[in-house]
């Protein structure tokens, strides 16, 4: 079966967005807080999960993905002289993909992933000892240490998590990340028209936003928790993004389309290269290649301009590496 070029373009664009956001410290590339409205950066990883659902991988590859993620975390911890953080992006993708695959796939597809949502709520509500189970800041006792997610992560990983209060790629959120993947699978199988899909996505965003405002204690929008409301909003934006890119593909210059397709075909390799390249560029702190280059450019273009230029340059190097890998038929085998 031939690959869908539109899917590769969207995956390639999303991979480069992820690289840029992970490097940049610009205000518009920042993630939202523990609970809050979705930012541009918050939509990128969920879109990648959505796309992963459209291209399911066998369980052995997902187990391998978890291993690759742990290996990258180990290298990063060693290079930066920090404690190993066990949860991570690739680990979350691998675990969620396993949950959204056989033998449970048929049941989950039949009930639109609701069993996973029900399980997430059961653990979240009954696993918290506080009166504010999801630690929404508008309520009293918004201690993130009281949430079931943090309790599970600290029990499993001890101090090897993102912060003492939570890990945005912790175990509990893998349940609802799998729902994002199931929505991607459903989107691929739908026979609706583009306008109907667009209305569907807008409806998902509207419902997620309504739940956030009407039931903030039980349905806030939170990337760190990957709440059901967050799933609805980000899945809706992923569908709109896919439809927008699909409409633009015929008008993209060939060189741009070819580049994005190549990045999409080597998305895992791109993530690994971007992680290692960023690590190397920032090695040495204030005296790193990245910091010195940024200070030099800042004199001419200002702080924001220097950040944008350096982030774009490193993202360009990552994109070029994908182009070379495809042309030389190089890829990671695991």
Distance CA 276, CA 43 (A): 23
Question: In the structure, what pLDDT confidence band is assigned to residue 4 with cuts at 50, 70 and 90?
Answer: confident
Is 120 a domain residue? yes
Rg (CA), the chain: 20
Is 285 a domain residue? no
3-state secondary structure of 142: coil
pLDDT surpassing 50 at residue 241: yes
pLDDT surpassing 90 at residue 236: yes
Is 257 a domain residue? no
pLDDT in tens, 87-137: 999 999 999 999 999 888 999 999 999 999 999 999 999 999 888 999 999
Is 215 a domain residue? yes
Over residues 11-23, the mean pLDDT reads: 97
Is 303 a domain residue? no
Q: Which CB contacts under 8 angstroms, 24+ apart, belong to 147-151? A: 147/225, 148/123, 148/124, 148/172, 149/124, 149/173, 149/224, 149/225, 151/127
Burial 288-324 (b: 16+ CB within 10 A, else e): eebeebbeebbeeeeeeebbbbbbeebbeebbebbee
The tokens for 8 are: 């590769």
pTM of the model: 0.95
3-state secondary structure of 114: helix
In whole angstroms, how far apart are CA 279 and each of 15, 276, 283, 289, 332? Answer: 17, 5, 6, 11, 20
Taken as a whole, the chain contains a residue count of 334
Is 222 a domain residue? yes
**Residue 286, Cβ neighbours under 10 Å: how many?**
8
Is 240 a domain residue? yes
Q: Which residues form the domain of 107?
A: 5-251
Least Cα distance to 260 among 276, 246, 273 occurs for: 246
pLDDT surpassing 80 at residue 226: yes
pLDDT in tens, 55-99: 888 999 999 999 999 999 999 999 888 899 999 999 999 999 999
Tally of domains within the chain: 1
Is 332 a domain residue? no
pLDDT in tens, 275-330: 999 999 999 889 999 999 999 999 999 999 999 999 999 999 999 999 999 999 99
Residue 288 pLDDT: 94
């Amino acid at each position: 079966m031939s690959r869908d070029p539109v899917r590769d373009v969207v995956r390639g664009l999303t991979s480069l967005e992820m690289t840029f956001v992970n490097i940049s410290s610009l205000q518009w590339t920042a993630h939202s807080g523990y609970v809050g409205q979705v930012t541009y950066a918050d939509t990128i990883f969920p879109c990648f999960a959505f796309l992963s659902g459209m291209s399911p991988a066998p369980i052995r590859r997902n187990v391998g993905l978890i291993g690759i993620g742990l290996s990258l975390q180990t290298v990063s911890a060693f290079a930066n002289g920090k404690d190993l953080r066990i949860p991570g992006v690739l680990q979350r993708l691998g675990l969620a993909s396993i949950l959204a695959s056989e033998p449970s796939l048929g049941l989950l597809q039949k009930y639109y992933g609701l069993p996973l949502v029900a399980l997430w709520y059961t653990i979240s509500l009954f696993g918290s000892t506080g009166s504010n189970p999801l630690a929404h800041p508008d309520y009293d006792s918004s201690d993130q240490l009281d949430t079931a997610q943090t309790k599970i992560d600290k029990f499993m990983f001890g101090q090897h998590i993102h912060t003492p209060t939570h890990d945005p790629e912790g175990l509990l959120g893998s349940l609802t990340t799998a729902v994002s993947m199931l929505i991607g699978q459903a989107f691929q199988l739908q026979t609706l028209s583009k306008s109907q899909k667009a209305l569907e996505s807008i409806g998902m965003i509207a419902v997620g936003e309504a739940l956030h405002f009407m039931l903030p204690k039980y349905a806030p929008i939170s990337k760190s928790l990957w709440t059901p409301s967050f799933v609805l909003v980000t899945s809706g934006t992923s569908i709109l993004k896919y439809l927008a890119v699909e409409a633009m593909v015929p008008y993209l210059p060939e060189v741009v389309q070819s580049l994005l397709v190549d990045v999409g075909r080597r998305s895992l390799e791109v993530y690994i290269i971007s992680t290692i390249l960023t690590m190397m560029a920032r090695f040495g702190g204030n005296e790193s290649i990245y910091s010195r280059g940024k200070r030099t450019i800042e004199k001419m273009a200002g702080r924001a301009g220097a950040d944008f230029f350096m982030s774009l340059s490193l993202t360009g190097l990552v994109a070029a590496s994908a182009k070379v890998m495809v042309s030389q038929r190089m890829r990671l085998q695991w």
